[in-house]
Amino acid sequence: MRILVTGAKGFIGKNLIAELRNKKYDVIFEHDRDTDPSLLDEFCKEADFVFHLAGVNRPKEQSEFMEGNFGFTSDLLGSLKKHNNTCPVMISSSIQAELNNPYGESKKAGEDLLLSYGEETGAKVLVYRFPNVFGKWCRPNYNSAVATFCYNVAHDLPINVNNPSVVMNLIYIDDVINELINALEGKENKVDLFCEVAVIHTITLGEIVDLINSFKKCREDRSVPNMSDAFVKKLYSTYLSYLPEDKFSYDLKMNVDQRGSFTEFIKTPDRGQVSVNISKPGITKGNHWHHTKNEKFLVVSGKGVIRFRKIDSDVVLEYFVSGDKMEVVDIPTGYTHNIENLGDSDMVTIMWANEPFDPEKPDTYYLEVNYE
């Protein structure tokens, strides 16, 4: 299939083309404002499907709205008619097509032109009125508040919110692309005259800003956002895409002594804590038990033994572990336990606990596993 994408270098266009390539669509005609104008006619002659994503939303003169959003659409459809090409055509419009402003009027004019073209030629036409789209590769300080907020917070720049109570309707770029791929395959989500992305997120500007600021703080307190919330997950992925290229990494506090080190990696309020424990050769760590706190140990490098004893028993259990054969060992409550490095090199253990460490309520009680 030969696919024409106008606005190929724009936010939606770049994401769409990346996914089309992932899905092995090899013949993609990419058209943008710097493309040789003569190529549009050639592309329209050959195309089997058209994604018309080109448009103008921040012109120097208001007249450019109509020129870009109506005029170019007219040129595109005229070229398709010239070659009697009645392939499906999708157009990217906006919810502002319902509003009485120059941008909205130009978008509405482009919609009407395409709908008339469909009636005249019998071609399948798909009109999408997108609300605010957010995600990776969106240009900050242009036409997306989310992109601007993410960029500024990630770069330690101030952000201005005149009215934090303003309600935003947003769609995520991956949801947009999934819908466009469905449209390409004839499975578009059509409601009456228009097509739409099924997943829309409604949230205030103030809540968005609070979330983005919390993402930055995650590095300081070693936390991760609530990934069970679909919008939070998408917004966090978006935020990370705006990190400065020299700021992808961040330091962790290593608690180091003669035995090795212990470093907290991730803390969550509802999914526990992940830490990295490094033990020197011959070193034993632990010798404590918990009432409610439980853990999972995974040795990823080196070899050792994890020992258990129920606190009211004299029977010692041993589990030999090694990075050569990874296995998770559960640490049940009511058993005192330790871990000993039996190798000649450092032993590295990933440790998960069902709750973040609370120094006020450590739920940790010293008791030797082996006793005389």
Yes or no: say if 338 and 260 are a contact pair by the CB < 8 Å rule. Answer: no
- Alpha carbon distance 13, 53 (integer Å): 7
Structural contact between residues 238 and 132, judged by C-beta atoms closer than 8 angstroms? no
Closest alpha carbon to 97 in 65, 143, 58, 133: 65
Token readout for 24 is 């092995």
Is 236 a catalytic site residue? no
Work out whether the CA dihedral 36, 40, 41, 45 comes out positive or negative: positive
Within 10 angstroms of residue 263's Cβ, the number of other Cβ atoms is 15
Exposure b/e, 301-337, CB count within 10 A at least 16 = b: bbbbbbbbbeeeeeeeeebebbbeeeeebebeeebbb
String of b and e for 156-183 (b: at least 16 CB within 10 Å)?
A: eeeeeeeeeeeebebbbbebbbbbbbeb
DSSP 131: -
Q: Which residue has the tokens 């109570």?
A: 165
> For residues 267 and 223, is the Cβ–Cβ distance under 8 A?
yes
- In the DSSP assignment, the letter for residue 315 is P
Q: Which two tokens stand for residue 49?
A: 């499907």
Cα torsion 141, 144, 147, 149: sign: positive
Measured CA to CA, the distance from residue 13 to residue 218 in angstroms comes to 31
Count CB-CB contacts under 10 A for residue 226. Answer: 16
Give the other-Cβ count within 10 Å of 268's Cβ: 16
CA angle 41, 117, 131 (to 5 degrees): 95
Pair 338, 369: CB distance under 8 Å:
yes
Q: Which one from 25, 103, 250, 371 is the annotated catalytic residue?
A: 103
Enumerate the active-site residues. 103
